[in-house]
Each structure stands twice: as structure tokens, then as C-alpha cells.
């Protein structure tokens, strides 16, 4: 059974710092891995999708990597800003098209 873990559960850093969020999964037979952000009481916004054949994806200050063999993905945020404060979730898509979700990392960027 696929399990997705995100560490740490919460992270607080000063504005301007670069940071890395971690996501690990137990079964490497995935179609893709996605990173989302969720603002309090709101829905999720898709940030990056990495296909199983890819190593990384970039969008602006965000860079996500995928290492299927080790069951790990990282989300790198450069030059963090207070507006980056949110909960970040990762999810892997399995062969039955279902997404298995991590519990998220709550990120706080201090001005």
C-alpha cells in the first residue's frame, strides 16, 4: 500500500531564505507526482507536476525534483516571500489514477 510522507510538518523561516520541502513515497510505481499549495480554508492550487520519466520541473522560484528509485521528491523555493506562506502538499498518482496524498508541510515565512 502506497504511503506518502511529508517532513517537516511545519516550517518557519525568515523572508528571503531558500528552503526545501520533502516528500517521500513507499512504492516507486507511480505515474507522476504533484505539488500543491493550500491557503487556509481554501482549495488547492497545482504548482508543479513531474511525470515519472522526468527528474525535475521548474516554475518561477519553484523547482521540484523526483527520484523514483529512492522514493523521494523535493520542492525548492528560492528567495522566500511572506506570500509563500501556505500548506504545501504532495501527491503521487498510481496506476488506478488515484492520488495518494501526504499530510502537508505548513510553511510560515516571517517578514
Partner 1 sequence: EAGVTQSPTHLIKTRGQQATLRCSPISGHTSVYWYQQALGLGLQFLLWYDEGEERNRGNFPPRFSGRQFPNYSSELNVNALELEDSALYLCASSLRQGVSTNEKLFFGSGTQLSVL
Question: Could you count the other beta carbons within 10 Å of the beta carbon of residue 50?
Answer: 21
Cell numbers standing for residue 61:
522560484
Smallest gap from residue 45 Cβ to partner 1 (A): 7
Nearest 5°: CA angle at 21, between 16 and 25?
170
Q: Which of 66, 89, 107, 109 binds partner 1 (CB under 8 A)?
A: 89
How many other CB atoms are there within 10 angstroms of residue 106's CB atom? Answer: 17
Q: Residue count at the site for partner 1 (CB under 8 A)?
A: 23
Considering the complex, state which of residue 72 and residue 93 has its C-beta at the smaller distance from partner 1. 93
Residue numbers at the binding site for partner 1 (CB under 8 A): 31-32, 34, 36, 41-46, 49, 51, 89, 91, 93, 96-99, 101-104
Amino acid at each position: 500500500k502506497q504511503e506518502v510522507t511529508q517532513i517537516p510538518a511545519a516550517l518557519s523561516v525568515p523572508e528571503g531564505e531558500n528552503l526545501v520541502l520533502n516528500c517521500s513515497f513507499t512504492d516507486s510505481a507511480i505515474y507522476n507526482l504533484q505539488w500543491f499549495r493550500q491557503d487556509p480554508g481554501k482549495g488547492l492550487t497545482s504548482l508543479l507536476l513531474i511525470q515519472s520519466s522526468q527528474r525535475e520541473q521548474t516554475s518561477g522560484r519553484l523547482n521540484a525534483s523526483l527520484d523514483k528509485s529512492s522514493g523521494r521528491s523535493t520542492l525548492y523555493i528560492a528567495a522566500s516571500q511572506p506570500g509563500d506562506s501556505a500548506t504545501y502538499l504532495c501527491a503521487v498518482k498510481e496506476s488506478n489514477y488515484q492520488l495518494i496524498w501526504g499530510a502537508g508541510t505548513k510553511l510560515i515565512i516571517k517578514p
